[in-house]
Amino acid sequence: MYVTTTDGASIFYKDWGAGRPVVLSHGWPLNSDSWEAQALFLAANGYRVIAHDRRGHGRSTQTWHGNEMDTYADDLAAVVEALDLREATLVGFSTGGGEVARYIGRHGTGRVAQAALVSAVPPFMLQTPDNPGGVPIAAFDAIRAGSAADRSQTYKDLADGPFFGHNRTGAHVSQGIRDAFWLQSMAAGHRNAYECIAAFSATDFRPDLAKIDVPTLVIHGDDDQVVPFEVGGMASSALIKDARLIVYPGAPHGITDTHKEQLGHDLLAFLEEYDG
């Protein structure tokens, strides 16, 4: 199914189950398939789960322009409004966490009951004079260089290394999980995925987090090699009013796969708190 945005982009989405809506925003350079474990689990437990492909990713239009957070957030709003979702819980993984934060910053919480940030990029990844604890730009320049030179191998290296923590002693992440990461990544448009690197790394979400006025859950692994815990979850939970932080000890970035059962149950418990 698709929603058409004001600039004519077609945004693909899945709509599973029935009940109060849960909207899942995926990470870079993936698509809504990366949420399948949680989508299936939550839909089986009484929720309507909507997961879309960000523009330029998966089955959505590979637009030349609009590969930045304001447009991503507006696309999310287009899905929410087209489906007339109310009392929704917005859940964002990695780059999707930035999308959720920017959605609230631009569109408010009139349709939102809860928010959850999972291994998410807010509040601000890039190291700058007023964000000295951030990640140096050289790290993101290296991803850009790899993407431009050989993006297929870059995605394989991410899957085989830091994304799932497969490079840690004793870790084992199945070949299937790593292959799925590569397959989804290659479905993204080349320009879209390249420009999204700046979107997730250089966007300052601190003003957006200050506008979050609904119950918020932050989940992050403390061995995240992609969005370091101190830069991501720990910092976001300190900036969001009354946010609750759950830390997964020793967990990598890609906990939607490596910790899928634990994540599903933690999200379900959070949803049930609102539903009483």
Q: What is the pLDDT of residues 219-273, one digit of tens each?
A: 999 999 999 999 999 999 999 999 999 999 999 999 999 999 999 999 999 999 9
- The answer to whether 10 and 235 are in contact (CB under 8 A) is no
Q: What is the pLDDT of residues 172-188, one digit of tens each?
A: 999 999 999 999 999 99
From CA 107, how far away is CA 164, in angstroms rounded? 33
Say what the pLDDT of residue 133 is.
96
Computed over every residue of the chain, the mean pLDDT equals: 98
C-alpha neighbours within 13 Å on the C-beta side of residue 15: 16
Q: Which percentage of the chain shows pLDDT scores above 70?
A: 100
Six-digit token string for 192: 């879209």
Q: What is the pLDDT of residues 58-81, one digit of tens each?
A: 999 999 999 999 999 999 999 999
Quick one: average pLDDT of 136-153? 98
Report which of 28, 3, 5 is spatially closest to residue 203, judged by C-alpha positions.
Answer: 28
Six-digit token string for 215: 């119950």
pLDDT of 276 > 90? The answer is: no
Burial class (CB in 10 A: 0-12, 13-18, 19+), 244: middle
How big is the chain, counted in residues? 276
Quick one: average pLDDT of 19-35? 98
Six-digit token string for 119: 């291994």
- The answer to whether 66 and 40 are in contact (CB under 8 A) is no
Quick one: average pLDDT of 106-111? 98
Quick one: average pLDDT of 140-158? 98
- The answer to whether 72 and 27 are in contact (CB under 8 A) is no
Burial class (CB in 10 A: 0-12, 13-18, 19+), 246: middle
Say what the pLDDT of residue 143 is.
98
Q: Which residues are catalytic?
A: 94, 224, 253
- Residues in Cβ contact with 194 at an 8 Å cutoff, skipping those fewer than 6 apart: 144, 147, 148, 151
* Domains identified in the chain and CATH numbers: 2-275 (3.40.50.1820)
